[in-house]
Amino acid sequence: MLRRLAERPGLVFGLVFMWKLALLVFTAQPIPANDAFFYDGPVVNHLLHGDYVNPTLAQVLPISAEKVFSAYPPLYHLLLTGWMWVFGTSAMAAMWLHVLLLGGCLLVWLAIFRRLNTPAWCVNLAGLYLVSITFHDRPDTLAHLMGALAIYGSVRACFTDATSSPTQHHWSWFVAVLLLLAFGTSLQIGVIYLCWSILLLVGGTWLKRVPLPWLPAAALAIAMAGLIGLVRFKFPLLWSGFLEHAELTPSVTGWRLPGAGDLMKLVRTAPGILLVGGWFMLLAVRGGLARERLAQSATAMLALSGMVTATALMCVCLVFITANTAQNANYLQPVIVGCFLAAMQHGLGGLKLSRGWIALFLAAAGLVSVRAIGMTTWGVACHADIGYHDAMQSVRRQLQETATDKTVVLSSAYLYEAARHPHVRWIHADWPGQPALSETTWEGEALMRLKPAKLIITQFDYYRRYEVVLRLLQSQPNPVEFKVNNAARLRPPDSFKSLQRVVQHVSWAPVVVEFAWR
């Protein structure tokens, strides 16, 4: 019975998606992350109040907060505007959009596996790595969908039966258009899929004598340069808003040596990619990656090019940009692992995967599922304690009781509700003032300048940041008196220092801090 189930390709993909739907319907997870409203805010404000700006960023990005939101490419906002115009501007509406976009990614990956005739057991084992994707509430989900479609087009362009036929040329144009759309959604993710597509197309040229698609590549380069020039010279306000955010963002940390925490994050995020990389190194040493061998294995070419792309991303995250960006490798991991397993089953390099190595891939899938297990157990318990609707009612009541023109600082998850209360000034909890990342007290100093009436934040934001900030405020001579009301009766994993990096952000229960400024 189990053997017959394992022979059904896409079985695990379907089960994972059903798990996603069940989490959303019954527990309203995954909760929007701390920066989700940074991207959704301008659409919410446009639909409710008529202006395409994000007023929650008034302390840090005056152009995007007061004139026009231009801190990020606009394609995601076009989709979100149509979606929220139909389904409303709630956090739940945004969460439904993202789970459906993730479902689209799953369908594209399955189409890639089917195109390459990947064995069912390889597809199902690779599907276990899907549970590592537990944060999908930014433009990234749409960008990954566009990127996955570009990789599908690259596979069709490189591995078509008649490489000189018009079909290959048409798929090259398809890839160029999808990459342009990916860049129009997220520049960082666009770069990832551009690199993967280039490696595939160059590999196809070298191994299978596929002609390079010079015309689509040139059109893509010209279109990107033209769009940049158009914004730079014809819409200087949009360009200034983009630079305003680029100069402020903490994504680029500068050159640094990787710390133990960064290395552990990569091991937890992409162990399957690391295993594939180790195998390819072993094959290279043994001479198993000869040109004729790769030319006969489309799955090996796709796995190798994806592994090189993901490894380059992770290396950059270790030494130059924030390690959190490595989470994008989660989306590449299932395809890389599934294609590699298929290539090895077909005898790539003369080596066979033993049961021991397959057990390692299964163990790696277990490693990436830790947060998913936490969401399904502890997250369900937290929702039974204080669920989405109870949390929204509490936030709504707090906002209604706040005097007109007073400032309230809120977490992303609650800002969708705050946007419905124009009598208060709503500020994003991540951006209460100009960040000074080299200082540990900048949030407290920002609060003293802002003097909010209330702070309404998630358990994640409270224990991750504001518990220390409030303690520092309390130690000051006499700036403020405050009262903390934590609605959670069940302690979330965020409240335990040893678990904050393992399972986090699974509780809707708000923490309300009421200030009395002197």
Question: What pLDDT sits at residue 10?
Answer: 84
pLDDT band at 36 (very low <50, low <70, confident <90, very high): very high
Q: Which has more confidence, 100 or 249?
A: 100
Cβ neighbours of residue 261 closer than 8 Å, sequence gap 6 or more:
323, 501
- Give the span between the Cα atoms of 430 and 186, in whole angstroms: 20
The type of residue at 489 is R
The domain ranges of the chain are: 2-30+70-376, 387-517
Confidence check: pLDDT of 162 > 50: no
pLDDT band at 247 (very low <50, low <70, confident <90, very high): confident
Which contacts qualify for 91-97: CB closer than 8 Å, 24 or more apart? 91/32, 91/388, 91/413, 91/416, 91/417, 92/28, 92/388, 94/32, 94/36, 94/40, 94/137, 94/416, 95/24, 95/28, 95/30, 95/32, 95/137, 96/24
Confidence check: pLDDT of 87 > 60: yes
Confidence check: pLDDT of 461 > 60: yes
Residue-wise pLDDT for 269-319, tens only, equals: 889 999 998 888 888 777 766 666 676 778 888 999 999 999 888 888 877
- Give the span between the Cα atoms of 241 and 290, in whole angstroms: 49
Rounded percentage of the chain residues whose pLDDT exceeds 70: 92
Report, as an integer, the average pLDDT of 473-488: 86
- Give the span between the Cα atoms of 196 and 154, in whole angstroms: 9
Report, as an integer, the average pLDDT of 444-453: 90
The strands making up 454-457's β-sheet, listed across from edge to edge, are 425-428, 407-410, 454-457, 511-517, 480-486
Confidence check: pLDDT of 443 > 80: yes
**DSSP state string for 359-404:** HHHHHHHHHHTHHHHHHHTHHHHHHHHS-HHHHHHHHHHHHHTSPT
- Give the span between the Cα atoms of 323 and 307, in whole angstroms: 18
Confidence check: pLDDT of 161 > 70: no
- Give the span between the Cα atoms of 460 and 411, in whole angstroms: 9
- Which run of H or E residues covers position 304? helix 298-319
* Dihedral angle computed from the Cα positions of residues 354, 360, 366 and 369, in that order, rounded to the nearest 10 degrees: -110
Question: What pLDDT sits at residue 166?
Answer: 62
Report, as an integer, the average pLDDT of 54-68: 94
Residue 458 CA from chain centroid, whole number = 19
- Give the span between the Cα atoms of 475 and 292, in whole angstroms: 69
Distance between start and end Cα atoms, the chain: 71
pTM score, two decimals?
Answer: 0.94
Confidence check: pLDDT of 438 > 70: no
Confidence check: pLDDT of 222 > 90: yes
pLDDT band at 250 (very low <50, low <70, confident <90, very high): low
Question: What pLDDT sits at residue 85?
Answer: 97
- Pairing state between β 511-517 and 425-428: unpaired
Report, as an integer, the average pLDDT of 63-79: 94
